[in-house]
A and B are shown apart, each in its own frame.
Chain A
Amino acid sequence: MFRETEILQTASQVSSTGGDLEGAGDLVINVGPQHPATHGVLHLVITLNGETIKKVEPHLGYIHRSIEKMCESLTYRQFIYVTSRMDYLSAHMNNHACALCVEKGMQIEVPERAKVVRVIMDELTRIASHELWWGAMAMDVGAFTPFFHAFRERETINEIMEETCGARLTMNYYVPGGLMAELHPDFQKKVKSFITLFKSKIDEYDELVTGNIIFQNRMKGVGYLSAEDAVSFGCSGPTARGSGVSSDIRKLYPYAAYDQVQFDEVLENGCDSFARYMIRIREMKQSVRIIEQLIDNIPEGDFQAKTKAVLKLPKGEFYTRVETARGELGVYIVSEGGTTPYRIKFRSPGFSNLSALDQMARGSKLGDLVAMMGTLDLVIPDIDR
């Protein structure tokens, strides 16, 4: 509907003013909702002058399920499962944020074992998510092979998840108070063999893509986002860190066992697509470092704290945030003291990161749009919720 009206307006402007009007001669095109480079059902309406982008306008809602409204009628045990369907590539982290929020409200002390396992799981998910992004990113700019390399390693993580959580994508492994089940007996062994495998492959990624001159030419200087804009647009995660903005929730507001491990917050000052690319590559190495420190030191004990059968959050407001693969996920629960949240808000990282796309894209060529969108690492269900 939008497309026709917009084009008609442009056409009538041209005819009524003889083509002198600002904006006359602009072309409005649609990218998506069904477009391979949007990685989901994202609809961008792009105003072009020749080949130069004048405006990018996201049209959302193609996969909107109103998760926030749905959660208002689900109990504190039930609503966590729905959130795996938001950012499905960071399902563990979504669950983590919700579990933390309920635990904060109920003042549940989570056993050390659960904390450590949560961190390992989160970091495995981060690697899996970044790998998928890396393969898809390379494919967006024209290299097909990396996709298969990325999926080969990601498959190993999926198998580890499947054994312990019973699912490969929407895990639902975290519950308020700890974990849903005990780890699979082979967990440590499999994770260690994955780490060995992955360490030998990560350098291969650099050889295959990072050092490639064609790839660098496509990425460097593209999608410039200044540090000030990144903060103003509410960007977080690799998008903000690519502009040199320190925003790692794991460092700034440590949760679970992140205060027990040594790792660096990765920062780049390039402010362009290549900087954001490098952030994710380097983050994968940091994730490996975190897992290595913890995998042999999982404390013995309970995996779940004893909680009441029916959870009731006290009256009040609770906000927790975690670092997902895409950035800062905030969970804001307003409780009236009942068994279901009165209002729940998910501050999704993708939503804010997407809003910066217009700023990045203005003035650049249409062909570069894919290279910008790719480095934002958009997951559409996370944006639409």
Chain B
Amino acid sequence: MQNEELKSRITELLPAATYDESGEWLNINVEPSDWPAFASQLRTDASLSFDYMFCLTCIDWKTHLTMVYHLSSTAFRHNIVIKSKLDRNKPEIRTVCTLWKTAELHEREVYEMFGVHFTDHPDLRLLILPEGWEGKNPMRKDYEDPINMIKL
């Protein structure tokens, strides 16, 4: 499907979604509370069937965090980007690792690097960082480490 068709189909599924079409792919902004139900519709809807999550990450905008999910369909080869704004002080969103198994490790990475809490995640703990780094979130913009960080 082209971006226009995707947009009209997604508006049917989630009227509250807002769009940004400046990029190559359709960007869809959703509320964290809408995300679990919407995600499962994206995964299962026969005309969308977004079965391949090729990127999951987070951006720290200093005022808030944004979760970014890149989804693709192996059947139709269309791509979309889902974005969800999170409160920086208490970032929380439902896990999607039951829909896309790859999300499990990616969410663990985002959890330790940005401190986003994924509710209902089966095994939410540090992945890359060693013990003792809980709550330090090194990928946030305000993270300071005078010893290990070299600023140019």
Contacts and interface: CB of A to CB of B under 8 A. Distances in A.
Interface of A: 1-2, 58-61, 64, 66, 68-69, 73-74, 229, 231-234, 236, 245-247, 252, 316-319, 321, 328, 330, 332, 334, 342-343, 345, 347, 351-352, 354-356, 359, 384
B55 A347 contact: yes
A68 B24 CA distance: 23
A79 B129 CA distance: 23
A46 to B, nearest CB: 16
A61 B104 contact: no
A17 to B, nearest CB: 23
A76 to B, nearest CB: 14
A319 B130 contact: no
Contacts of B152: 73-74
A154 to B, nearest CB: 30
A319 B74 contact: no
Nearest to A354: B105
B14 interface: no
Interface string B50-68: 0111110101100000001
A6 to B, nearest CB: 13
B100 interface: yes
27 contacts: A2-B131, A58-B105, A61-B128, A61-B129, A68-B139, A73-B152, A229-B101, A232-B51, A232-B101, A233-B101, A234-B52, A234-B101, A234-B102, A316-B23, A317-B23, A319-B55, A330-B55, A330-B70, A332-B70, A334-B59, A343-B60, A347-B54, A347-B55, A347-B57, A351-B106, A352-B105, A355-B101
Nearest to B129: A61
Given A1-B131, A232-B100, A347-B57, 13 more contacts: A2-B131, A61-B129, A66-B138, A232-B51, A232-B102, A234-B100, A316-B23, A319-B55, A332-B57, A342-B59, A345-B57, A347-B70, A352-B102
